[in-house]
Structure 1
């Protein structure tokens, strides 16, 4: 049994740049802020969903299983099944993919799939040496043993480590994500100037989308507990320029590296939801689908070059559907780093790469930049890790409707050496 699966609607919060401390919303707060207006405008009850699936990487201790907590706070009923998925940067897309497979197989008719991430809530953790000292002190039984344990104390035991820093470092290669971007930039000959130019363009495109009102209906105003409201993605810098970006120092490989804070995705908080439904649900509730999910694909590769993930996963997806990159009219590639996106574009044009890595007869071809990330991406928006995959699918659908295009691909690289891609067709 294989049934068509439709994207009905979706919404997200503004993406809010981390400002050096916990932001106004936890992951569940964000999920609730994005979900309430979305559910309120539907012609069915929130309890009519079969499941809730939420991508979240940085789950905080007070919200274990944030999908279930969000579902309850959204009034979806005590019997609502809700669970989380985690595949690093692909978590938000994985929630859609998991929902897609459930509905396609006839095991569900309507699922709320999303992603929520508050990177500003990334914990501070003690070094392992400090943890072992605390453990020794706690397990000491006699006064003498406790004194002996206490005098082993070192000031370094209290130096905290930002959990996000460790989370963005691959434990197998010991390279952080920025360093992997440096690797593929070197392999594909991407220059600092090219990366900075791409970053400027990302900010300009998002600023234009905001000015033109292209994001209305997708971005919901969020209200914090103090009554302050947030109505736009606040990481955008409309005045970004090559001259300003050229002044920034490399973040990971000094002095010659080309990945800087200016041409990298931003550390951000945000949530996004997408409603998926079967044909039966569409008829039952009189829904108007926006798009149909045609297929999805995931690929693994060397974590050192994880940035090539979109090329491998998209290639698998297109080959399975007898398509080439030229059949795709609109693309969303998550902008982890400007050099990473540019390296992917270069790989598709490289005859040797396509033959040896993708198994093609030659170069796949060139993706027109006018078809790619038409309203900016994570460099200007930010990259709340568990959310981004959901956002790029939802925005791809909305952008295709605005542009009048039919086929689109949303794809991303994933920390740990993975890539994901989803093929969408407008209805």
Structure 2
């Protein structure tokens, strides 16, 4: 029997996150975006022989249409990887990208691979949140305890806000902090190490000249953070999921487009190709919770991931808690007693955006680089997951 071995992250990068429908990636196909970020990750390890890559695992929450037909394999081919490199698309909704990292690490840890690529991609501009033709089994509605599967995410956030007594004022204050932290981090250049600038082409028509025009520009920052956000402005927003609710567009995550990719390697591969480990993948956990309060998923997943690692949450120097909604983020922070200073120090999805299946890979890149930049030992990526799940993964700087 082979011994469990360590899996190291040797490259980690992501695209900027674009606003869906009107943002800079609105016309950028997700399979092309995935290919672009895979190439960028490979460029970080020039000594690595691409033929050594065993598999590409890519997370995608709505794997259909432009991001269907096994987008992982398509992205691998479009990225120029040898055809010997296979690909598989995985879906755990918002934790798809993190699950891709976990699965890639596990292949290495059990000795089935030496080099793996883990990624995530989502275009919410091209593929709607529920897909093009959503269809739920009628059996979901035959038992009252199953109906939560059909709840919209916003309604689950309202239920979390009610049960955990998270006020509208607290949610708006949390949202404001997310924007303020994101803007401060952008101005300080804190995202530079993790983001690969991407060229986008804007196409239109010059009516006077009667011809099509195309302009190419380079985008290098997430476009969701708003420096003009104020508590007063957030307070004026109407609730959108419940008439007497507290959840608004302002204290919820932004629908977005983006991709991220990490390259993982065994110790043998690190030595063979002269690679520099950035971090070690330590542990992962996924847990289920009642679907109608899916936002509390991290309350169950975080203690499990810590237990598997033999660590405590106080050991975490950096925590990326995906801000699906301010209500669930605050419920998680308060219930587990997390230190707010180490949770999303550079803002979260309320400001930066949440491209569903890509977010886990994107935030993993954030943690890997933050640990090195701030000289911290351990970091975590965690999120709630639609239909009642939570996930958490722990990384160690090396």
Instruction: Give the TM-score normalised by structure 2.
Output: 0.89
- Aligned counterparts, 1:125-204, within 5 A: 163=131, 172-173=147-148, 174-204=150-180
Task: Tell me the number of residue pairs that the alignment of Structure 1 and Structure 2 aligns.
Answer: 372
Does the CA-based 8 Å contact 1:305-1:417 persist in structure 2? yes
- Give, in angstroms, the shift of residue 12 of structure 1: 0.9
Q: Which secondary structure state, in structure 2, belongs to the residue aligned with residue 257 of structure 1?
A: coil
- Deviations, residues 105-135 of structure 1 (Å, cap 9, x unaligned): 00000101000000111259xxxxxxxxxxx
Report the counterpart of residue 23 of structure 1 in structure 2.
26
2:343 aligned with 1:393, yes or no?
no
Report the counterpart of residue 38 of structure 2 in structure 1.
35
Residue from 104, 109, 125 that aligns with 2:109: 104
CA distance in 2, matches of 1:217, 1:329: 18
Report the counterpart of residue 270 of structure 1 in structure 2.
258
Residue from 217, 228, 248 that aligns with 1:239: 228
Does the CA-based 8 Å contact 2:316-2:380 persist in structure 1? yes
2:122 aligned with 1:117, yes or no?
yes
Structure 1 or 2, whichever has the larger Rg, is 1
Q: Which secondary structure state, in structure 2, belongs to the residue aligned with residue 258 of structure 1?
A: coil
Structure 1 runs of 4+ with >4 Å offset = 164-168
CA distance in 1, matches of 2:326, 2:4: 38
Deviates more, 1:57-66 or 1:238-247: 57-66
Deviates more, 1:15-24 or 1:331-340: 15-24
CA distance in 2, matches of 1:250, 1:323: 39
CA distance in 1, matches of 2:282, 2:157: 30
- Give, in angstroms, the shift of residue 398 of structure 1: 1.1
CA distance in 2, matches of 1:117, 1:307: 20
CA distance in 2, matches of 1:405, 1:224: 35
- The answer for unaligned runs of 5 or more in structure 2 is 141-146, 202-213
Does the CA-based 8 Å contact 1:60-1:121 persist in structure 2? no
Does the CA-based 8 Å contact 1:223-1:230 persist in structure 2? yes
CA distance in 2, matches of 1:381, 1:165: 28
- Aligned counterparts, 1:28-427, within 5 A: 28-42=31-45, 43-62=47-66, 63-122=68-127, 163=131, 172-173=147-148, 174-225=150-201, 226=214, 227-254=216-243, 256-348=244-336, 366-427=337-398
- The answer for unaligned runs of 5 or more in structure 1 is 125-161, 349-365
CA distance in 2, matches of 1:387, 1:73: 18
Provide closer, same or farther for how the CA distance between residues 320 and 61 of structure 1 changes in structure 2, counting only shifts above 3 A. closer
Does the CA-based 8 Å contact 2:55-2:85 persist in structure 1? yes
